[in-house]
A and B are shown apart, each in its own frame.
Chain A
Amino acid sequence: MNRRDFLARSSAALAASTAALPARAQAGTAAPGAASVPLSNPAERDAAFRARLARDRRMLGWRSAPTGGLAQQPRLEGRWPRGLKGSFYRNGPGLHDRAGQRYGHWFDGDGLIQHWKLDDSGAARFQARFVGTPKFQAEQEAGRFLYPAGGGGMPTERAMSGPDTINPANTNLLTLADGGLWALWEGGSATRLDPASLDFGGFVTLSRELRGAPFSAHPRKGADGRIWNLGSMGPLLALYRLSPTGVLEASRMHTIAPTGMVHDFILTSRSVVVVLPSTRLGNGDGFFARVRPAPAEPIQVLVFDRETLALSRRAELPAGYVFHFGNGWEEADGTIRFDMVHSANTDQVQHLRAPMQGEMPPDDAARSLLVTIAPSGAASLSRLVAAVEFPTINPRRTTARNRYLYMAARSTAGADWFDAVAKVDIERGGVTYARYGRGWMAEEHLFVPRPGGTAEDDGWLVGTALHLPSARTALTVFDAARPVEGPLARLWLDTALPLAFHSQFVPG
């Protein structure tokens, strides 16, 4: 089968499978692709957001947190599972507006780090602090935004000397073997944090040639603890390999199609697999407006040797947009398999502007697919589950074949946000849900292995969600082996936090 035939057949198969999906796959406040025109004026965005917030509690998910942060003792509901103790860290944009000016994209806000210190007894402590980047400190002092942002429309009161001038450190975290903690963005450097106080400890310089270079928000660890990551800017892609304590061991530059964002990748026991979505950098006000849909372009898969960081294989997949992958592995003959959350809609980056002007993002009908790349580069796809995002697995299975995959999911018809965590059995098929029920906006959930456990699903699903009726955020624990039984325990804050992106768990 040649490339065109493959793409045509795969696209047709995917379209057919989508048509057969239950109603939830099409759920949402707007049809896929039906986003309203972004407002370019930061004051108009703020006014539109506040008007909607006054009558729609879902907008609490994009309300700014207090700039001084929060410290609380959460209230326990239910019975805390023995053995579940450690630090659950979370990162996401927490400050979307200052002085009546609101950013134009969800991805722009300053990073708010949540630290849920979990104790065996259930007596948890909670702290949230903004990352004290130079940008945050300067704007905090000025009482207003000073720098341009990816969503556009912001005045440039002060000059940028490079991406780190506006680095909000707002997407994910990386935990290191020596106890170090980094906050991650993807347009610039990683940021050192004090794991206890969350104090800003400066940007990480991997080497002189890489000072200020993009370091993406989804580094992956091999079984030996070494860390791989990428950084991309326009037509350049850097691959990095770091020691378990975060010291650069190797890097290599490659040229790629300028897709705009390369958010995540897959690590196997031998390879780094980079997936380039069907977008191309064009023109527009602010970086995100430049990430234009290119539905005629197939997704490109680039396979690199993870030791030499040299390109070893290429493949193509049907057009679409991809943010995240759960896991990937490589078989003895070189066949690579991985899961990806794929949307046929290539306008996803634009759609995530909507909450900044008081609108729910349109449902892009993202679904999880299992991708197989043969040693020849031939690719095939099968559908795992619809209406999902934020895939995670048992971290002990990273780069090895995993049976289970967990994702935030829209489990009921009409849900306009994630209301469950899906547990997918990749080997035998089938999906079960840990459900939140109505009135919740669920976020990413991590799998935390039970100490001493050996079965792949022997552990807990731990994640946050926004409870709309009480306008509070809670951390909920489910038994990963029996998600349908519902929550085991829940820790309640007394306020709503803005929705965040990614979490990391450190046992202990």
Chain B
Amino acid sequence: MTCTTRRLTRLAAACTLALVLPSLTLAQGAPADPAPQTAAGPHTLTVTVEGIETADGVIMAGLLKADPAGGRPRQVGGARVEAVAGSTTVTFTGLAAGDYAVRLFHDANANGEMETNAFGIPLEGYGFSNRARAGFGPPSFEEMKVTVTGDTATTAIMPY
């Protein structure tokens, strides 16, 4: 069988139809320890991750922060925790006040990448802060947004 190439997958990602979440792989390269530090501040953001199918592998999370100047949100941190069937939590500490969003995927085979099929459609579970849901594409930053002013909690649901 001839498989797709990465270039083709990226083309699919550029298509408005494709249900692709290319930026989820931003969690790659994050430190192996949970709770990595981001911009200095006193606050904690706790993400309760629900709907995890199995205890295989890890949950990878990427933390996005809004650009106060109105530019695109930037990835400011990443976290990785052991997967737990059902529910677990991912915590980001040392955050300054501001608007954040978290994107997660269940890296069930712990290879550091979100597996996709030949069309770039995710083959592993994924979810977003603020219970945001993917429709014909990933949710917007606004839909995922969590405003951190003190210690803050949010929930992400992982569909598979």
Which chain A residues have a beta carbon within 8 Å of chain B's beta carbons? 148, 156, 158-163, 165, 207-214, 231, 233-236, 238, 248, 250-253, 255, 258, 260, 281, 283, 286-287, 290, 309
Q: Are B8 and A162 in contact (CB under 8 A)?
A: no
Per-residue CB contact flags for chain B residues 70-83 toward chain A (1 = under 8 Å, else 0) read 00000000000000
Q: A160-B133, A235-B12 are in contact. Are A211 and B117 (CB under 8 A)?
A: yes
Given contact pairs A158-B159, A159-B127, A253-B2, a sample of 13 additional A-B residue pairs in the complex whose CB atoms are under 8 Å apart: A148-B135, A156-B135, A159-B133, A159-B159, A160-B19, A160-B159, A161-B160, A209-B3, A236-B118, A250-B2, A253-B4, A253-B118, A287-B17
Q: Are A283 and B159 in contact (CB under 8 A)?
A: no
Shortest distance between the CB of B13 and any CB in chain A (Å)? 9
Of the listed residues A148, A161, A208, the one surrounded by the most CB atoms of chain B closer than 10 A to its CB is A161
Q: CB within 8 A of B15: which of A158, A252, A281? A: A281
Per-residue CB contact flags for chain B residues 34-74 toward chain A (1 = under 8 Å, else 0) read 00000000000000000000000000000000000000000
Q: CB within 8 A of A234: which of B18, B127, B157? A: B18
Q: Are B11 and A236 in contact (CB under 8 A)?
A: yes
With a CB–CB cut-off of 8 A, which chain A residues contact B17?
233-234, 258, 260, 281, 287, 290
Shortest distance between the CB of A186 and any CB in chain B (Å)? 12
- State A428–B2 Cα separation when bound (angstroms): 44
Q: CB within 8 A of A286: which of B8, B14, B136, B159? A: B136
- State A253–B7 Cα separation when bound (angstroms): 11
CB nearest neighbor in A for B137: A160
Q: Are B125 and A161 in contact (CB under 8 A)?
A: yes
30 A-B pairs within 8 Å (CB atoms) are namely A156-B133, A156-B135, A158-B133, A158-B159, A159-B157, A160-B133, A161-B126, A162-B19, A162-B122, A163-B121, A208-B123, A209-B3, A209-B4, A210-B117, A211-B117, A211-B123, A212-B123, A213-B117, A213-B119, A233-B18, A233-B119, A236-B15, A236-B119, A250-B2, A253-B2, A255-B8, A258-B17, A287-B17, A287-B136, A309-B2
Of the listed residues B15, B121, B122, B157, the one surrounded by the most CB atoms of chain A closer than 10 A to its CB is B121
Shortest distance between the CB of A164 and any CB in chain B (Å)? 9
With a CB–CB cut-off of 8 A, which chain B residues contact A210?
117-118
With a CB–CB cut-off of 8 A, which chain A residues contact B126?
161
Q: Are A163 and B12 in contact (CB under 8 A)?
A: no
Q: Are A250 and B159 in contact (CB under 8 A)?
A: no
Q: Are B134 and A160 in contact (CB under 8 A)?
A: yes
Q: Are B16 and A233 in contact (CB under 8 A)?
A: no
Q: Are B118 and A159 in contact (CB under 8 A)?
A: no
- State A248–B1 Cα separation when bound (angstroms): 9
Which chain B residues have a beta carbon within 8 Å of chain A's beta carbons? 1-5, 8, 11-12, 14-19, 117-123, 125-127, 133-136, 157, 159-160
Q: A161-B122, A209-B117, A248-B1 are in contact. Are A234 and B19 (CB under 8 A)?
A: no
With a CB–CB cut-off of 8 A, which chain B residues contact A158?
133, 159
Q: Are B121 and A162 in contact (CB under 8 A)?
A: yes
Q: CB within 8 A of B135: which of A160, A234, A253, A290? A: A160
- State A272–B134 Cα separation when bound (angstroms): 35
Shortest distance between the CB of B48 and any CB in chain A (Å)? 16
With a CB–CB cut-off of 8 A, which chain A residues contact B3?
209, 253
Shortest distance between the CB of B138 and any CB in chain A (Å)? 10
Of the listed residues B5, B12, B14, B118, the one surrounded by the most CB atoms of chain A closer than 10 A to its CB is B118
With a CB–CB cut-off of 8 A, which chain B residues contact A161?
19, 122, 125-126, 134, 159-160
Q: Are B15 and A235 in contact (CB under 8 A)?
A: yes
- State A250–B2 Cα separation when bound (angstroms): 7
With a CB–CB cut-off of 8 A, which chain A residues contact B119?
213-214, 231, 233, 236, 238
- State A309–B16 Cα separation when bound (angstroms): 27
With a CB–CB cut-off of 8 A, which chain A residues contact B134?
159-161
CB nearest neighbor in B for A206: B1
With a CB–CB cut-off of 8 A, which chain B residues contact A162?
19, 121-122
With a CB–CB cut-off of 8 A, which chain B residues contact A286?
136
CB nearest neighbor in B for A310: B2
Q: CB within 8 A of A258: which of B8, B15, B19? A: B15
With a CB–CB cut-off of 8 A, which chain B residues contact A258?
15, 17
Q: A162-B121, A209-B117, A238-B118 are in contact. Are A148 and B159 (CB under 8 A)?
A: no
CB nearest neighbor in B for A188: B121
CB nearest neighbor in A for B118: A209
Shortest distance between the CB of B3 and any CB in chain A (Å)? 5
Q: Are B159 and A252 in contact (CB under 8 A)?
A: no
Shortest distance between the CB of A276 and any CB in chain B (Å)? 15
Of the listed residues A234, A235, A260, A287, the one surrounded by the most CB atoms of chain B closer than 10 A to its CB is A234
Q: Are B8 and A236 in contact (CB under 8 A)?
A: yes
Q: Are A234 and B8 in contact (CB under 8 A)?
A: no
With a CB–CB cut-off of 8 A, which chain B residues contact A208?
117, 123
With a CB–CB cut-off of 8 A, which chain B residues contact A214?
119
CB nearest neighbor in B for A308: B2
- State A231–B121 Cα separation when bound (angstroms): 13
